[in-house]
Structure 1
C-alpha cells in the first residue's frame, strides 16, 4: 500500500513536531498550555495544525488507493502532503507568512482534489461496475 509509506513519513514528521514542543516546554518550564510564550505557541500550533490536516488527507489517499486509482496519483498526493506540511511547519517556525500560506493552499487544494477524485471513482465504479 502506497499510502502506508506516506502515513509513516507523516508519523515521523509528527514525532519531530512533538519533540519540538516538549523541548520548548522544558526550556521555558511550562508543563501545560503555552504560558503566553510566542515560541511555544507557534510550536504547539504547528503540531496541532499537522494533527488536524494529515489524518483526513491520509484517509482520502487510502480510499483513493483502495478505489484502484493510478499509483502515480497516490504518490503525487503523498509528496504534496509531505511538502505542504513541511513547508507550513518551517514557515511557522521562522514566521514566513508567504510560505505558511503556500503550505496551507497546497494542503487545501490537495484535500479538495482527493475528495473530488474519490467522488469520481465512486460514481464511475457505481455506473461501470456492471459492465
Structure 2
C-alpha cells in the first residue's frame, strides 16, 4: 500500500514537471515565431533567456524525476517524495521566472537553484539511507 501511495506521489510530481517543460518549450517556440528565428537566438536577449530557461530545466528535471521514481520503487514515504518533488518544482519554476525576467544575477534565479540543490541533496540522502537500511 505504501509503495502505491509513493508511486502516486512520484507520478504527481513527474506530471507537473512534464507540464513545466512543455510550458517552457512553448514559450521558446512562441518567441521564435514572433522574431522569425529558426535556430539559435540571433542576439535577441528575450529569446536567449527563454532558451536558457528551458535548457536549464532540461538539465535538472530529468535527474530529479528519476530520483523521485527510484525513491518510490525503493519504498520511500510519500512525504519524502512530496518534499523532493515540491522543492524541485518550486526551484525550477522560480529559476525559470528569474531567468526569463533577467539574464543577470537575480534573487529568483538564486533561490531557484538553492531549492533545486536542496531537492537533490534531500533525494540523495534519502536514496542512500534506503540503500543501506
TM-score normalised to structure 2 length: 0.89
Cα root mean square deviation, aligned: 1.1
Query: What is the deviation of 1:67?
Result: 1.3
Instruction: Look at both structures and tell me which one has the larger radius of gyration over its CA atoms.
Output: 1
Residue 3 (str. 1) matches residue 10 (str. 2) = yes
Whether 2:75 is the aligned partner of 1:68: answer yes
Distance 1:76 1:108 in 2: 13
Aligned equivalent of 1:20:
27
Distance 1:16 1:77 in 2: 21
Distance 2:84 2:127 in 1: 13
Residue 101 in structure 1 maps to residue 110 in structure 2? yes
Which one of 117, 123, 126 corresponds to residue 114 of structure 1?
123
Shift of 1:36: 1.1
C-alpha displacement of 1:56:
0.3
Unaligned ranges ≥5, structure 2: 1-6
The 2-side partners of 1:70 and 1:14 are apart by 26
TM-superposed CA distance for 1:61, in Å, is: 1.3
Aligned length: 124
SS of 1:68's equivalent? coil
TM-score (norm 1): 0.90
Alignment of 1:53-92 (within 5 A): 53-92=60-99
> Hey, which bits of structure 1, 4+ residues long, moved more than 3 A?
none
SS in structure 2 opposite 1:65? helix
**In structure 1, C-alpha distance between the alignment counterparts of 2:123 and 2:20, rounded to whole Å:** 21
